[in-house]
Structure 1
């Protein structure tokens, strides 16, 4: 992985962070996340296009549960812009890119659990209503 540029322009997130086999979807997702200037391996800010507090707060919470993370916070630069900035700082030797990927994977796993629990509860409710 090449080091992010050190200027103030946004650069794409490295391919290792993106994952996924569907090329078109992966390219579209890759274009929505950028590493902001001044990034190092242990401290970086990311800009997510088309995202807001819904992803920001959930991702911040998930990433902060990682013991390798020293700080994680997000901000919405302006309410009229569909952008969310996420800042991650890790302890020495831990890559922010790995932490971001793990955070996104953990959040997806939590969403899958919530989805499955909801479907089970809906099915149980429907069965009870049918027997009433």
Structure 2
């Protein structure tokens, strides 16, 4: 496929079973992310293919990327209901490489998820402390 490159993220190449991390063989390794670019060198219009993902990541990431004022278009599609693959398209203004808002969107999404997790865990801790205090 012309203009296609594959980005490999090594941390996706492990499988966790009951708390035991098992590295996958090269035959089992599937790239988690591919970058597909149309002919030419326009870095501002790129499609990223995310494997083993669905609407949960697609819509959340689209929302985070669209908050950036330099984004002209951002959208995603799932190729077929039986496939777990997302085509995530980004077009930017002013020649900004599309990979920059993609990375920024991922980073911001991780930050939001971490905040939600921290808030949830703090609420559980507070609830348990109140419950223990009421039992005494």
Query: TM-score band (shorter)?
Result: 0.7 to 0.9
Runs of 5+ consecutive residues of structure 1 not aligned to the other structure? 19-23
Counterpart residue number, 2:6: 12
Q: Which has the larger radius of gyration?
A: 2
Q: CA RMSD in A?
A: 2.3
Alignment of 1:1-132 (within 5 A): 5-6=2-3, 10-13=4-7, 24-25=10-11, 31-38=31-38, 40-132=42-134
Deviations 1:82-123 (A, max 9, x none): 101101010022110111111111111111101100011111
Larger proportion of strand: 2
TM-score normalised by the chain length of structure 1: 0.79
Q: Unaligned stretches of 5+ in structure 2?
A: 15-28
* Helix, strand or coil at the partner of 2:31: helix
* Per-residue deviation, residues 40-82 of structure 1 (Å, max 9, x unmatched): 2111111000000010000000000111111111111101011
> TM-score w.r.t. structure 2 length?
0.77
Please tell me whether the aligned partners of residues 12 and 30 of structure 1 are also in contact (alpha carbons under 8 angstroms). no
Going by fraction, where is helix more abundant, 1 or 2?
A: 1
Q: Distance in 2 between matches of 1:5 and 1:105?
A: 29
Residue 5 of structure 1 and its aligned partner are, at CA, apart by: 4.1
Which 4+ residue blocks in structure 1 deviate beyond 3 angstroms?
26-30
